[in-house]
Structure 1
């Protein structure tokens, strides 16, 4: 840094403190030294408030009656500096400021415009870090990860992190993985068909590619990493009921069901028969009444026949999830009261939330009374009263 600027600041000090700080801000802006610019902007505010300047970002020296005014200046400075970093495409630095003032939207929007195919190699890990691990835009981070690092790495990281993500982010990433795996599998089968039946018309539909071609699976053949297939089908249970990618998931289940038995890895109850069980689940969500009834009956039979209490709870959890998603709340509440009334985990299942969301606070009162839980009983009692009053008014 030139010695001239130090001399200039000394000379401006004879003029006024404001002149020194204005020149400091101008110089730091020209140098794109934005982290120190943040300090300088807050120094200027502290100078105006008559507060010592050598701890520019600290609230401690600020008198109580001036803290609100300083807080507004802090937010404005963070917003300004964060925007300057965004202009330079320094997303991690920008996120530091916008996250601090709880304004994540601008960074998320800027990250959303990135084309994963054009990211310089040296920027990939930085973008994944800020998007996924720091939470600026998880779905974009997983899109970058999928494009650059491949589906194996993406599945592993998503498996580790999906409980930490918001539901909408989980759904977007699950859809991303379903679409990618489906596309990869179609491409692989299309190549095999063209090798054996050169005149066959091309199709992008997995079911059409498999139709009448059992020879594809002879000798334990497979056409995609079967562990990836297993994971992606499992992730697909995160998708919304009306998600168009569910049709692809059903086809992936049909493909998986034709694989050699050694490649049909069993899941946890009630998905021991992994692909057929998932097929029942997804068809119940998306199909006609007959598919819905068949799917529900499939899981009800598993619940009835399961001797292990812990597995019964797992089956009940899946069945309750399915029932609530197809608007059969009465049956869902009945099962929940029998098997899961003790569960209160916000990341998996909450009996209280289920009762509240399905307007069954009377059931929650009954269970709370049985457990001797006065607090939950009182809350359910009064919330039910408020709902009744609101409906009557």
Structure 2
């Protein structure tokens, strides 16, 4: 019950007595609203509904003892009450508590709006950041808040854990944030080093311009940013879309990385074993810089047995790249050749790709080979 309720409130309720149950409950609800006791209000609203339906009043939020004929009515009222109380908590700035109500009814948008509206310089409690980022309610804002409060290293770790659960659009948005943040930090550090060595150097310039022809910046294993952070952010940048301005920044990051001492150029999975040079080709393909040469290079990395994991990974990278470049027919041919049995493990739907490419004959062939009557029929009727 309301923590601020005094004896007068109890006396008032007692005077109304059992002869006036509706008045008792209305008075209780009014008191809880006045006290901003929103959790108590939720219980009281459901208690009043139970009283109206002739149900027991103890444990008012429970659904277990609600008879089947009354369940739809009570569940609807439950949802409406949770929405109301969640909104009242948001109005009081209690985002984590509001989240409990909105999550229960699977409505995340009000919480997302509240988090997005937080000022950039606001001091935000940790549970809000967790809701935004780790629960995916407002992942971009959550990433910005996490970056501000935890720094780059912890943010990269957190993002690695969350990437697989994000939508492609949210992955791209998070990649934009990280690429721009790391690029700005690295460019600033390099500029400082250049001015220290060459005091007459004019200010400004891109990272590419700052490192051009200046081998001394990398001499003796020198670097200007945590090399593991650079590796991770360049990897994240593969989530960017062709229209993203951050792609050019990602290319410059990869070009910087390619000039580091070999001991700081950590290898990746195929086809990115030669990490930075491979990413340079990837970003160039996305930016339409020597695109055909870059795509040919990725094709050359698909070698060996189609059943081999590295071969399939290399094939998927190129399939995904071709899809991003809207070259779906080429992507489909490659997927059918190398990923007919494993496409779904990579999050790729060959039937959907067939439809996107307008290749319904390929869909029928693929479906027949797998004994898939449903997609065979879809391909048959979509001609």
Normalized against structure 2, the TM-score is what?
0.93
Shift of 1:177: 0.7
Note if contact 2:364-2:379 (Cα within 8 Å) is conserved in structure 1: no
Q: Which of 89, 98, 117 matches 2:121? A: 117
d(CA) in 2 for partners of 1:14 and 1:350? 63
d(CA) in 1 for partners of 2:101 and 2:358? 42
d(CA) in 2 for partners of 1:331 and 1:382? 24
Note if contact 2:364-2:380 (Cα within 8 Å) is conserved in structure 1: no
d(CA) in 2 for partners of 1:307 and 1:28? 67
Q: Tell me the secondary structure at the aligned position of residue 294 of structure 1.
A: helix
Root-mean-square deviation (CA), in Å? Answer: 2.0
More helix by share: 1
Q: 1:1-393 residue pairs with structure 2 within 5 A?
A: 1-13=5-17, 16-119=20-123, 123=125, 125-288=126-289, 291-304=290-303, 309-345=308-344, 348-370=347-369, 373-374=370-371, 376=372, 378-388=373-383
Normalized against structure 1, the TM-score is what?
0.91
Q: Tell me the secondary structure at the aligned position of residue 258 of structure 2.
A: helix
Note if contact 2:129-2:145 (Cα within 8 Å) is conserved in structure 1: yes
Note if contact 2:25-2:44 (Cα within 8 Å) is conserved in structure 1: yes
Note if contact 1:25-1:37 (Cα within 8 Å) is conserved in structure 2: yes
d(CA) in 1 for partners of 2:6 and 2:173? 50
**Which deviates more from structure 2 when the two are superposed, residues 206-215 or residues 32-41?**
206-215
Note if contact 2:237-2:250 (Cα within 8 Å) is conserved in structure 1: yes
Note if contact 1:155-1:228 (Cα within 8 Å) is conserved in structure 2: yes
Note if contact 1:117-1:147 (Cα within 8 Å) is conserved in structure 2: no
d(CA) in 2 for partners of 1:355 and 1:53? 57
**Which deviates more from structure 2 when the two are superposed, residues 61-70 or residues 201-210?**
61-70
Note if contact 1:342-1:351 (Cα within 8 Å) is conserved in structure 2: no
d(CA) in 1 for partners of 2:62 and 2:241? 45
Question: Structure 2 stretches of 5 or more lacking a match?
Answer: none
Question: Structure 1 stretches of 5 or more lacking a match?
Answer: 389-393
**Which deviates more from structure 2 when the two are superposed, residues 360-369 or residues 242-251?**
360-369
Note if contact 2:328-2:356 (Cα within 8 Å) is conserved in structure 1: no
d(CA) in 2 for partners of 1:303 and 1:63? 61
Shift of 1:262: 1.0
Shift of 1:67: 2.6
d(CA) in 1 for partners of 2:6 and 2:168? 52
Aligned length: 379
Shift of 1:309: 2.5
